[in-house]
Amino acid sequence: MEQVVTPTNLEELSSLLRTCNQQQRAVEILGAGTRRHWGNPVAATLGIQTTGLSGVQEHSWQDLTATVAAGTPWSTMQQALAQHGQCVALDPLFATRSTVGGVVATNDSGALRLRYGSLRDLIIGITLVLADGTVARSGGKVVKNVAGYDLQKLMTGAYGTLGVIAAVNFRLHPLPRSVASWTVGATEIAPLDALRHALADSTLVMEALQLRTTSSGFALDVQFGALASTLQDHAERLHFLARPLQPVPAAAEVWQLREQLFAPEQATAKVTCQPAQLAALLPLIANSGGTAVAQQTGTLLAALSAQPGLVTQLRQRAEQLGGALQLLAWPAEVAEAPPRWSEPRGAIALMREIKRQFDPQSILNPGRFVGGI
């Protein structure tokens, strides 16, 4: 890349994209770089850095909404909102470094999705700049809003191929007053899978639920969020459901174990599937020497030895179960890398047409997304 430009306001960003579009100059949209490798490489001579667009622009704490510039670090946003006892109820990877725009562009999420929904459920409006420099706004600043096209859902997970996100309007949630985490371990996955389903069918108020591999087998982590007076009841009911297994208190760090799956010498893959299929995938990963953390919502992250055959085997198994695999990271020194995405299916023709409509010159992150979009 020959040049990186960091616009500091919406007008600069709009003017820059307008010029690039007229010159048919391909650009790569850059945030903090934590997810830059989560897709195909982009051949661009210009990088547009969004970190110059930073800050919580508006926080209507009475209405539980906030407008945040795309270049704002996720943790910085959460710290500002926490001053009024509120948060965006999402726990993406690398929160201290990731920008709001990067999280939205890659549709990242974590264990909190179980209770609060996906990122698309938490975004009520968006400001973006299209490839020709047009500034577009969708949604609004209130939760009950039906004005305009629902562009925010289209831009979430588009990997910067349809427009450059400048600001996001979030619906907020109160910070939980009390939380407690527990871990249940076992050498086999079957009893933990049964407990997972029992918890999902219960009336316990769960903030998060995840299933993972360990050095001695498998573990199930559960986090309760409720009034302090009810947490003891939740713990007793968990012990009853888990018998004869013995739950033990878990540190808050178990919910950041996903970040340890990104190591320079390993391949990291993301599998999406139906939650019921997770128990079929974890033993396959463990038996191959890999490690994995799977969220109850059907998203699994796995660290594998950098062997194309292992990634292909896991991809084939995921697809047999109706899921898909995305390769997020691959060691730079290992030349032979499997495809980043599973073969496109279903609506790929529609996706290409949407790309053509939004970016006719194909200047925005060209080739990064599935199917070479």
The better pLDDT of the pair 23, 143 is held by: 23
Q: Judge whether 33 lies within some domain.
A: no
Pick the last residue of a domain from 154, 174, 194: 174
Residue 226 forms part of a structural domain: yes
CATH number for the domain spanning 69: value is: 3.30.465.10
- pLDDT tens for 275-322 read 999 999 999 999 999 999 999 999 999 999 999 999 999 999 999 999
Number of structural domains in the chain? 3
* pLDDT tens figures, 167-183: 999 999 999 889 999 99
Look at residue 48 and tell me if it is in a domain: no
Nearest Cα to Cα of residue 183 among 152, 150, 216, 155: 216
pLDDT at position 146 over 80: no
**Assigned domain for 18 exists:** no
| Residues facing residue 86 across a β-bridge | 174
Shared-domain flag, residues 204 and 235: yes
Residue 23 lies in a domain: no
Mean pLDDT for all residues in the chain: 94
- Are 204 and 266 members of one domain? no
Q: What is d(CA 196, CA 199) in angstroms, rounded to the nearest whole number?
A: 5
Rounded to whole angstroms, the Cα distance separating 66 from 20 reads: 31
Q: Which amino acid belongs to residue 33? A: G
Q: How many Å apart are CA 356 and CA 90, to the nearest integer?
A: 31
**pLDDT, tens digit, for every residue of 218-229?**
999 999 988 888
The CATH number assigned to the domain holding 299 equals: 3.30.70.240
In a domain, residue 109? The reply is yes
Residue 215 has pLDDT above 80, yes or no: yes
- Looking up tokens 């890659």 gives 106
In a domain, 216, yes or no: yes
Whole domain around residue 288: which residue ranges? 262-342
pLDDT value at position 147? 55
Same domain for 188 and 297: no
Q: How confident is the model at residue 148 (pLDDT cuts 50, 70, 90)?
A: low
Q: Which of 322, 278, 320, 338 is nearest to 302 (CA)?
A: 278
Write the CATH number for 181.
3.30.70.610
Average pLDDT, integer, range 246-272? 95
Same domain, 63 and 162: yes
| Residues 251 and 297 occupy one common structural domain | no
Question: 230 and 321 in one domain?
Answer: no
Are residues 103 and 141 both part of a single domain? yes
How far, in Å, CA of 235 to CA of 11, rounded?
Answer: 53
Residues 170, 60, single domain; the answer is yes
- Together in a domain, 204 and 106: no
Query: Is 197 in the same domain as 155?
Result: no
Identify the domain boundary among 174, 200, 217. Answer: 174
Q: Which pLDDT band, with edges at 50, 70 and 90, does 32 fall under?
A: very high
Do 57 and 170 share a structural domain?
yes
β-pairing, 217-225 with 46-49?
Answer: unpaired
User: Considering the domain boundaries, does residue 231 fall inside one?
Assistant: yes
Name the domain boundary from 256, 282, 316. Answer: 256
Q: Return the ∠ at Cα 245 (arms to 239 and 251), rounded to 5°.
A: 70
What would the pLDDT profile of 80-113 be if each residue is shown by its tens digit? 999 999 999 999 999 999 999 999 999 999 999 9
Strand 27-30 with 46-49, pairing: parallel
Residue environment code for 110-129, b if the CB has 16+ CB neighbours within 10 A, otherwise e: bbbbbbbebbbebbbbbbbb
Residue 256 has pLDDT above 90, yes or no: yes
Task: Give the bridge partners for 341, in sequence order.
Answer: 326
> Where does the pLDDT of residue 145 fall: very low under 50, low under 70, confident under 90, or very high at 90 and above?
low
Do 311 and 277 reside in the same domain of the chain? yes
Token pair for residue 54? 């930073």
Q: Give me the DSSP letters along 217-252.
A: EEEEEEEEES-HHHHHHHHHHHHHHHTTS--EE--G
Q: Rounded to whole angstroms, what are the CA distances from 214 to 130, 142, 188, 218?
A: 45, 43, 11, 5
